[in-house]
Amino acid sequence: MDTLFTTPELSPEALARRRILGIGLKVLGGAVFLGGNTWLGYQAATGKSPSTLLPASETDLQLTVLSYMDSRRYSNPDFGRQVTGTEAEFLDIVDEQVYFTLPKGLPDKARTLEKLAKNPNLVRNSQSVMVGESLDDYTALPGFEIISMPLSEFRVDPNRKVVIRYQKMPFKTNGDLFYDVTVSELDGFLSNRMIYGGTQYADEGVVRFGKKVFLPNLGGIVAGKGEQSLERLVSRIIDPQEPMEIQIAKLNVFVANAIPYDTVQAENDFRYRKRPNETLMTEKAICDSKVVLLASLLEQIGADYHILYLFKDETGTGHSQVAVAGDFPKTNGLGVKINGIDYAIAETTARGFLIGATRLTDYTDPEYIKYRQRPGMWGGGIFGSRIVQISDGQKLRWDRGSFI
């Protein structure tokens, strides 16, 4: 299982991506972001729904595309090709000058430059030197060349889509099963307009191994109802005329089956958590990112649910699940009572898990459930998003130095 306890610090990779060069790249992975109003906060202030939010600026869209091209940890190997229509790979951004690499000798290089740049005449090309192709401080690997252009010249289509296709599910879906997200919608995620937001961590007031430890605020990166790319995905998975329990069960099976458990990350000391679109694009995640995805899908159908934080002992090794309300079977004995209501456990890491029926071999004791959370506006709001201790209802303090 995963280590949920963590310290609020960025990975070296995330720090390296924070090239705040006048404007710089947005940072991925639940760390520190440019922008960052939650859509619920925006909605409360303006009365607008997510679908009517003001469009992002062209610079925002350009930086969103470059940020996801910069890290496949949060996108996928095909992201750049799908979003630019070329074989260009992002290299760097310095003083608002963007650098890309291209395979050398492209027969259609002129067409490639037209797709990448508004004015191809402003594109600078690398020159051949003894060790390869060189431009400014960069030298390309053998078989590649380097180009650069002003950031303002980088061509981005806000309606361009990235499409991820998934395997068939053990139930009938509404046509082919895929996730499609536009550049504009990606910016909505990356600027945190489409997630609940808040702080990255809750403070338990615990010191372990000489360091203060924190609990990640998973609810803060859940996407609220009305996020259009998730709505489209949900419409392919469920039939809205079906009982809510069937809809919930299908969404859980989708997350468990379509998103394999990321064993490599699970064995890594640093835990990076993904927004729901990032989990869908990478097609792999540990339990907390899978829980965020399931919660975001449940938001789209208006399901009653809570995120659960489980711990077996005091080592910090834990797990996360989702508690869902409804008339589910009780044969596996996995459930929890919250505010007098019985909730069944949805497990996202067990392939084919059937709520109320499938038995687990680990984390099956209700005593392991230490905290619950109903995602919502970070400050409380109508729904509330505080992380609450199951035993006595005490709310954890937010670590206010780590706002999303």
Please return the burial class of 158, using the count of CB atoms within 10 Å of its CB with bins 0-12, 13-18 and 19+: middle
Q: Is 68 contained in some domain?
A: yes
- In a domain, residue 92? The reply is yes
Q: For residue 37, give the DSSP letter.
A: -
Q: What is d(CA 358, CA 306) in angstroms, rounded to the nearest whole number?
A: 20
In a domain, 45, yes or no: no
Please give the pLDDT value at position 385.
85
pLDDT in the model for residue 330 = 94
Question: Does residue 7 form part of some domain?
Answer: no
Over residues 279-295, the pLDDT tens digits come to 999 999 999 999 999 99
Range of the structural domain that residue 27 is part of: 12-35+57-153
Beta strands in 176-301 (DSSP E): 178-182, 201-208, 211-216
Those residues whose C-beta lies under 8 Å from the C-beta of residue 47, and which sit 6 or more positions away, are none
Same domain for 170 and 81: no
Q: How far is CA 29 from the centre of its chain?
A: 7
Count of alpha carbons within 13 Å of 61, Cβ hemisphere only?
A: 21
Q: How far is CA 377 from the centre of its chain?
A: 18
Q: Are residues 192 and 303 in the same domain?
A: yes
Whether residues 356 and 373 share a domain: the answer is yes
Give the model's pLDDT for residue 135: 96
To the nearest 10 degrees (0 to 180), the angle between helices 244-258 and 228-237 is: 100
- Contact assessment for residue 251 and residue 353, using Cβ atoms and an 8 Å cutoff: no
Judgement on whether residues 125 and 166 belong to the same structural domain of the protein: no
Query: Does residue 404 sit within a domain?
Result: no
Q: Please tell me the distance from the alpha carbon of residue 86 to that of residue 120, in angstroms, as a whole number.
A: 14
> Does residue 68 sit in the same domain as residue 147?
yes
Nearest alpha carbon to residue 348 among 294, 284, 282, 309: 294
What is the C-alpha to C-alpha distance for residues 218 and 337, in angstroms, rounded to an integer?
21
The reply to whether 317 and 388 lie within a common domain is yes
Q: Which residues contact 114 (CB under 8 A, 6 or more apart)?
A: 120
Domain annotation covers residue 1: no
The reported pLDDT for the residue numbered 51 is 44
Task: Give the count of domains, the chain.
Answer: 2
Domain boundary among 153, 185, 202: 153
User: Cα–Cα distance between 91 and 127 in angstroms, integer?
Assistant: 16
Asked, for residue 52, whether it belongs to a domain, the answer is no
Number of neighbours of residue 110 by Cβ within 10 angstroms: 9
- Check whether residue 233 and residue 93 sit in a common domain: no
pLDDT computed for residue 50 by the predictor: 44
Residue that terminates a domain, selected from 103, 121, 153: 153
In a shared domain, residues 196 and 148: no
| Spans of the chain below 50 pLDDT | 1-24, 30-52, 382
Could you tell me if 116 and 179 lie in one domain?
A: no
Please tell me the pTM assigned to this model.
Answer: 0.87
Cα→Cα distances 361→33, 324, 365, Å:
39, 20, 10
**Are 209 and 350 within one domain?**
yes
Same domain, yes or no: 203 and 269: yes
CA-CA distance, 186 to 269, in Å (whole number)? 28
Name the domain boundary from 153, 185, 206: 153
Per residue in 77-129, pLDDT tens? 999 999 999 999 999 999 999 999 999 999 999 999 999 999 999 999 999 98
**Residue 3 within a domain:** no
Q: What is the pLDDT of residue 183?
A: 98
Amino acid 383: pLDDT: 54
How far is residue 112's CA from residue 357's CA, in Å, rounded to a whole number? 53
CA distances from 280 to 163, 204, 252, 329, 356 (A): 10, 31, 14, 29, 25
- Answer yes or no: do 132 and 212 share one domain: no
